[in-house]
Structure 1
Amino acid sequence: MRSLGSVQHKIPCVFLTEVKEEPSRKRDCQQFQVVATETLNPVALEADIHGAVATEKIDGTCCYVTLYNGRPHLWARLDRKPNKQAEKRFKKHQHQHRSCRGFSWDVEEDFKIVPEAWIPALRVQHLNGHPVPDEHGHIPGWVPVQKDNKQYCWHGSVLDPEGGAVLVLRPGGDEDEEELEVSAVPLADQMERTLELIGTNVNGNPYGLGSKKQPLHLLVSHGSFGVRNPPPVDFHQISSWLREGPGGRVEGIVWHCSDGTLIKVHRHHLGLRWPDGGASLGERPVVVRVVGGENTDRKDLFSSFCRLNGQRFSRLQDVHFDS
């Protein structure tokens, strides 16, 4: 499946949500839970959710490919967040009003410093020349992945050290609909797309990739894995599919609407655990098709995959490199 919508901001839930005063299943130390009601979100209806393309929600960290210093470059997600004083005021407002709405920000004074190369995400609103935070108090944005920045070393591991390519996980051949493929894709072919970085050291590694000794990370272009026979857009049918459906061992669903709107549902919205019994993506067969740049003296991820070129594994989580 071709890449669909670009993820530049938080995606609304397909159902209207409400806040419950109970510990979050998704975030440690968060003493409230955002759960879905059975009412469809008007935003979803306006975007014709019933005619949208349903894709698997991938559990990783968001990345973006756009120009940096005149060349295609991989960028990591970095939301600009409030400083401690502003965060305290914001949480007080949330507690009093049981809502994020109506809070007044001083954009110049209330937010933490970000790297000089940081850029706000597309479609972030601006006021008096400053980007405006979303309803959660964050300003979505991006920072270029640099080789010397240890904070983004796992992002850097999927980059070809000798050329402008990245390691991408995508649907494989036509003969086996389940088969996946690891490929080296030119960065220029991913321009203005967003992708999800998954792997050993990202979000608890729900797909079981690599190991502490041999970390393994890959990029997945958003919208690349369609949901076969998706459930109707109905609270009970989606909940049942995620619990018991043959393709339901996923983090959630993202619908790509014809007008470019993205709508999602996460297992946590429906009170379901994640991961629960193993994610289906990690259990699908995979073939490696990474050629060029092989160097027996190098120990980077690209060279390791080059040495596996042509090999098939019965499960993605079984991919390993000989020591």
Structure 2
Amino acid sequence: MRRLGSVQRKMPCAFVTEVREEPSSKREQQPFKVLATETLSHKALEADLYSAVPTEKVDGTCCYVTTYKGQPYLWARLDRKPNKQAEKRFRHFLHSKQNSKDFFWNVEEDFKPVPECWIPAKEVEQSNGNPVPDENGHIPGWVPVEPSSKQYCWHSSVVDYGLGLALVLKHHPDELGLLEISAVPLSELLEKTLELIGTNINGNPYGLGSKKYPLHLLTPHGAFQIRNLPALRHSDLLSWFEGCKEGRIEGIVWHCKDGCLIKVHRHHLGLSWPIPDPFMVSKPVIISMNLNKYDNGADTKCLFTYFSKIDHQKFSRLKDLILEV
């Protein structure tokens, strides 16, 4: 079984964290908060966080591009999870031992079935040919997004396998501060992870599209580099998140020279998310499809068709982009 596609969500916090016995503002029914202290973590220092590249943490669902059926395909995140009996046994073990690494898993019997095409993520360890569950008892992985999939219909709306294209939101290559929505060859995204954002993803924190005309886009991980970030001090970062327009983001992901990813989330600093008017949707955006006579007559709500019709148009803010088919 292949081990492909690193899941970006599995990242250590930049600061040493502490648990406080009060309800979480991030996860419902979680009776505790995980908050950052003022001390940088050992992993952050070991990865040389001071020379790392800070990027915006985008709030969506993780995707991956790799080969399937002989061509580049978009894959959706699907964690393999334990069945009820194994979950109950695991939770009882955690309550008594507090060390998930000593728990014995029988992967063939303890986990819910997944499609045959499912593959484990790159960072998943292997033991005797089987993937090893993480500290939460999950095995992160991927499934290919088929065009006819109802479960992953929002994923399939941003790809055209016939033309081998994906709808991607990223910075314009020549104009600083300008976003660009373009049709990118899937072959250029091979072995990369991206975030799917939009109307029906994670409560739509960016306010994209509408129920009648949903809008979804892919953003490559690390695409939105943060400039002029303050010093790596708890108080300075807190002030930046609270007082700067550039700080109106979900969090920061540092890309370290050794390949390590380190994060800090607004919730780690006691701040709320989502928030009104995130920084991303305040930026201007231009449509750069460059497709000749693209027309999917079978689907009147096809995003590729819509964007092709308004190709080269520029909007003063991403939030002003309202679909009208």
User: Quick check: TM above 0.5?
Assistant: yes
Q: Call closer, same or farther: CA 1:36–1:88 in 2, change over 3 Å.
A: farther
Who is 2:140 aligned against? 140
* 3-state DSSP of counterpart to 2:26: coil
296-305 or 204-213, which deviates more: 296-305
The reply to whether residue 314 of structure 1 matches residue 302 of structure 2 is: no
Give CA-to-partner distance per residue, 1:51-85, whole Å, 9 cap, x none.
00000000000000011122111100111112122
Report the TM-score when normalising by structure 1: 0.93
Instruction: Report the Cα offset of residue 99 of structure 1.
Output: 5.5
Q: Which amino acid aligns with 1:305?
A: F
Task: Summarize the Cα distance change of 1:102–1:243 in structure 2 as closer, same or farther, 3 Å threshold.
Answer: farther
1:265 is aligned to 2:244: no
Question: Could you tell me how far apart the structure 2 residues matched to 1:134 and 1:106 are?
Answer: 13
Closer/same/farther in 2, CA of residues 296 and 7 from structure 1, 3 Å limit: closer
| 93-102 or 27-36: bigger deviation | 93-102
Q: CA-to-partner distance for each residue in 1:273-302, whole Å, 9 max, x for gaps?
A: 002232110111100011325227342111
Question: What's the counterpart of residue 11 of structure 1?
Answer: 11
4+ residue segments displaced more than 6 Å: none
CA 80–290 in structure 1, closer or farther in 2 if over 3 Å, else same? same
Match of 1:301 in 2: 303
Q: Hey, what does 1:119 align to over in structure 2? A: 119
Q: For structure 1, which runs of at least 5 residues remain unmatched after alignment?
A: none
Task: Map residues 147-226 of structure 1 onto 2, 5 A cutoff.
Answer: 147-160=147-160, 162-172=162-172, 174-175=174-175, 177-226=176-225
Q: Give the Cα–Cα distance (whole angstroms) in 1 for the partners of residues 238 and 320 of structure 2.
A: 30
- The answer to whether the 8 Å contact 1:6/1:222 transfers is no
SS in 1 for 2:181: strand
TM-score for the superposition, normalised by structure 2: 0.92
Give the RMSD, CA atoms, in angstroms.
1.8
For structure 2, which runs of at least 5 residues remain unmatched after alignment? none
> Distance between the aligned counterparts of 2:161 and 2:143, measured in 1?
19
Q: State the partner residue of 1:229.
A: 228
The code of the aligned residue for 2:306 comes to: S
Residue of structure 2 in register with 1:60 after alignment: 60
Instruction: Check whether the contact 1:53–1:226 (CA below 8 A) recurs between aligned residues.
Output: yes
Quick one: structure 1 residues 98 and 38, their matched pair in 2 at CA, closer, same or farther if it must change by over 3 Å? farther
Whole-angstrom CA distance in 1 between matches of 2:296 and 2:118: 36
Question: Does the C-alpha gap of structure 1 residues 6 and 233 become closer, same or farther in structure 2, counting only changes over 3 Å?
Answer: farther
Q: Write the distance in 2 (CA, Å) between the matches of 1:98 and 1:147.
A: 43
**How big is the shift at 1:102?**
3.5
- Please report how far the alpha carbon of residue 128 of structure 1 lies from its aligned counterpart in structure 2 after TM superposition: 1.2
| Partner secondary structure for residue 50 of structure 1 | helix
Measure the CA separation in 1 of the matches of 2:296 and 2:259: 44
Give the % identical residues.
58
Partner of 2:239: 240
Bigger mean CA offset, 92-101 vs 9-18? 92-101
Q: Secondary structure at the match of 2:107?
A: coil
The correspondence of residues 70-81 of structure 1 with structure 2, limited to 5 A, is: 70-81=70-81
Task: Please report how far the alpha carbon of residue 97 of structure 1 lies from its aligned counterpart in structure 2 after TM superposition.
Answer: 4.6
Give distance in 1, aligned partners of 2:60 and 2:245.
22
- C-alpha spacing 1:94/1:234, structure 2 compared with 1 (3 Å): farther
Residue 246 of structure 1: how far off its partner (Å)? 3.2
Contact 1:86–1:110 (CA under 8 A) maintained in structure 2: yes
Q: Does the CA contact (< 8 Å) of 1:7 and 1:222 recur in 2? A: no
Using the alignment, how far apart are the partners of 1:29 and 1:57 within structure 2? 24
Q: Which moved more, 1:86-95 or 1:258-267?
A: 86-95
Per-residue Cα deviation, 1:22-79 (whole angstroms, up to 9, x for no partner):
2221122222322222222211111111100000000000000011122111100111
Matches of 2:277 and 2:94, distance apart in 1? 35
1:159, distance to aligned residue in structure 2 (A):
0.7
Post-superposition shift, 1:98? 5.1
Quote how far apart the aligned CAs of 1:209 are. 0.5
Name the CA shift for 1:249/1:9 in 2 (closer, same or farther; >3 Å): closer
Aligned length in residues: 318
Check the 8 A contact 1:296/1:303 in 2, yes or no.
yes
8 Å Cα contact 1:80/1:140 also seen in 2: yes
Is the partner of 1:305 in helix, strand or coil?
A: helix
* Alpha-carbon offset, residue 316 of structure 1: 0.7
